[in-house]
Amino acid sequence: AQSVTQLDSHVSVSEGTPVLLRCNYSSSYSPSLFWYVQHPNKGLQLLLKYTSAATLVKGINGFEAEFKKSETSFHLTKPSAHMSDAAEYFCVVSALALRNAGNMLTFGGGTRLMVKP
Amino acid sequence: DAGITQSPRHKVTETGTPVTLRCHQTENHRYMYWYRQDPGHGLRLIHYSYGVKDTDKGEVSDGYSVSRSKTEDFLLTLESATSSQTSVYFCAISVLLAVTTNTGELFFGEGSRLTVL
């Protein structure tokens, strides 16, 4: 089985301050891990992915995440928040195989990031 | 942009009526997925398809059926809509070279918001 827990449903930061969105996962297999972002009334867009290469992963728009196997964590960070970062963020684990269709994605419940001016 | 179009984007219907949501893609991708998004649950897989006439169930398939008669179209049908199916529905595709190389990265449509009264 696999599961994802996003530890905060809402995070509020001021523009220019660091962002930390927390994610813990569990998986019986070696997982791939992703962060997706969803802006209001839009579909999801891939921010970054970890697939067993470097444990520190850099994504778009200045975001990065570090895979820590010992802590089963994949927290998302950004040094300085921008107003345009306000969105919902989903941590995703991919490990279980779907029959005939690659891996199954399991989504966390999402973290809504608010950025104050 | 993976050329994914969902229709309708918004629909209000009554309990007990049938509803069909359409996902159309323009790039001949083999693998297509239907997810539903509900607050606190992230996205959950309803059904997926790995080719024309080849479909399988996801984790929340009860009350839903799908069809794929052409590569470009993947239809999701609620035979008799219930209020618990009020949700936002997302279609997604994955770009694969082979099943074993799928790491789970998906491209999403912009969603179809369904309200069942």
pLDDT of A86-100, one tens digit each?
Answer: 999 999 988 766 666
Give the Cβ contact number of residue A117 at 10 Å: 6
At residue A97, the pLDDT reads 67
At residue B1, the pLDDT reads 57
The fraction of chain B above a pLDDT of 70, given in percent, is 90
For residue B27, give the DSSP letter: S
Chain B hits for A9, CB-CB cut-off 8 Å, are: 40
Chain B hits for A29, CB-CB cut-off 8 Å, are: none
Q: Looking up tokens 């949700």, which residue turns up?
A: B87
Task: Give the separation between CA B43 and CA B66, rounded to whole angstroms.
Answer: 18
Mention every residue, 6+ apart, whose C-beta is less than 8 A from residue B64. Answer: B34, B46, B47, B76, B77, B78
Q: Could you read off the pLDDT of A70-82 as tens digits, one per residue? A: 999 999 999 999 9
CB contact under 8 A, B45 and A101: no
**What domains, with CATH codes, occur in chain A?**
2-53+84-116 (2.60.40.10)
For every residue of A39-101, DSSP letters joined together read -TTS-EEEEEEE-SS-SEEE-GGG-EEEEETTTTEEEEEESS--GGG-EEEEEEEEEEEPTTS
Residue B99: closest CA among chain A residues belongs to which residue?
A: A102
Contact of B57 with chain A, judged by CB distance below 8 Å, is answered with no
Residue B98 is encoded by which pair of tokens? 């082979």
Average of per-residue pLDDT across A44-62: 89
Lowest mean pLDDT among A44-48, A113-117, B17-21: A44-48
Average of per-residue pLDDT across A6-12: 96
| Strand pairing category for B112-116 and B10-13 | parallel
At residue B105, the pLDDT reads 77
Q: How confident is the model at residue A38 (pLDDT cuts 50, 70, 90)?
A: very high
Is the predicted pLDDT of residue B98 greater than 70, yes or no? Answer: no
- Which of A32, A43, A46 is closest, CB to CB, to B110? A43
Is the predicted pLDDT of residue A48 greater than 60, yes or no? Answer: yes
- 8 Å CB contact between A60 and A41: no
At residue A100, the pLDDT reads 67
Average of per-residue pLDDT across B74-80: 97
Strand partners, A112: A10, A88
Fold of B4-116: Immunoglobulin-like (2.60.40)
Task: Give the separation between CA A67 and CA A59, rounded to whole angstroms.
Answer: 13
| Angle ∠(A27,A87,B108) on CA atoms, nearest 5 | 65
Average of per-residue pLDDT across B39-45: 89
Contact of B22 with chain A, judged by CB distance below 8 Å, is answered with no
For residue A38, give the DSSP letter: E
Q: How confident is the model at residue B2 (pLDDT cuts 50, 70, 90)?
A: low
At residue B88, the pLDDT reads 96
Contact of B2 with chain A, judged by CB distance below 8 Å, is answered with no
At residue B103, the pLDDT reads 55
Lowest mean pLDDT among A76-80, A88-92, B73-77, B99-103: B99-103
Chain B hits for A34, CB-CB cut-off 8 Å, are: 104-105
CB contact under 8 A, A43 and B109: yes
The per-residue pLDDT of chain B, averaged, comes to 90
Q: Which residue out of B47, B105, B113 would a mutagenesis test of the A interface target, given it has the greatest number of A Cβ atoms within 10 Å?
A: B105
Is the predicted pLDDT of residue B87 greater than 70, yes or no? Answer: yes
- 8 Å CB contact between A94 and A26: no
| Angle ∠(A95,B103,B114) on CA atoms, nearest 5 | 85
Domain ranges of chain B: 4-116
